[in-house]
Amino acid sequence: MWLMESNLAFLCYDIGRLFRKRFGELARQTGPTGTQWRALLVVQRYPGINQGMLAEHLDVEPITACRMVDRLEQANLVERRRDPNDRRAWTLYLTDAAVPAVNDLKAHGLKVLEWMTSDLTREEVEMLGRYLTRIREKFATADDTSGYLEAHNG
């Protein structure tokens, strides 16, 4: 079976790693680190996200996300606001100064993505996107791994 021989999970991880590396190289030219840029993109996608959820999206420890937000706030790229529902929590928003820079970075990311998929037809890219979306949705909606364990140990 192709999945077992080539290890699809490793392939997906490696593609993500290589994309982050190329994206980080572009990001370095504009200031913040690649991880900081990813943080800005998450905040743009989810305005009002709290630092804990940001850490989860970036797959970093909460203290790491907090320090990153400190630096982004000092650079006037992110604004912290008190969470109206929890006085202990902070919500995050992009500043007006961050919006043009983030839009430029999204354009750079799109160029990398177009380069990565330039050997595929438009239909292949669309099909790949649909397949990967289905896989992500399965992970995102799974309550636990018991279905996996039952299917493979049954």
Q: What is the mean pLDDT of residues 56-65?
A: 92
Contact 28, 78 (CB under 8 A): no
Selection from 107, 113, 138 nearest residue 125 by Cα: 113
Query: How far apart are the two ends of the chain, measured CA to CA in Å?
Result: 20
Partnered with residue 50 across adjacent β-strands are: 91
Q: pTM of this prediction? A: 0.72
The string of pLDDT tens digits covering residues 19-40 is 888 877 777 776 677 788 889 9
68: left (phi over 0), alpha (psi -120 to 50) or beta: alpha
In this prediction, residue 105 carries a pLDDT of 83
Query: Which tens digit of pLDDT belongs to each residue from 102-112?
Result: 888 888 888 88
Residue 54 has a pLDDT of 96
| Residue 148, pLDDT above cutoff 70 | no
The helix/strand/coil state of 152 is: helix
pLDDT level of residue 150 (50, 70, 90 thresholds): low
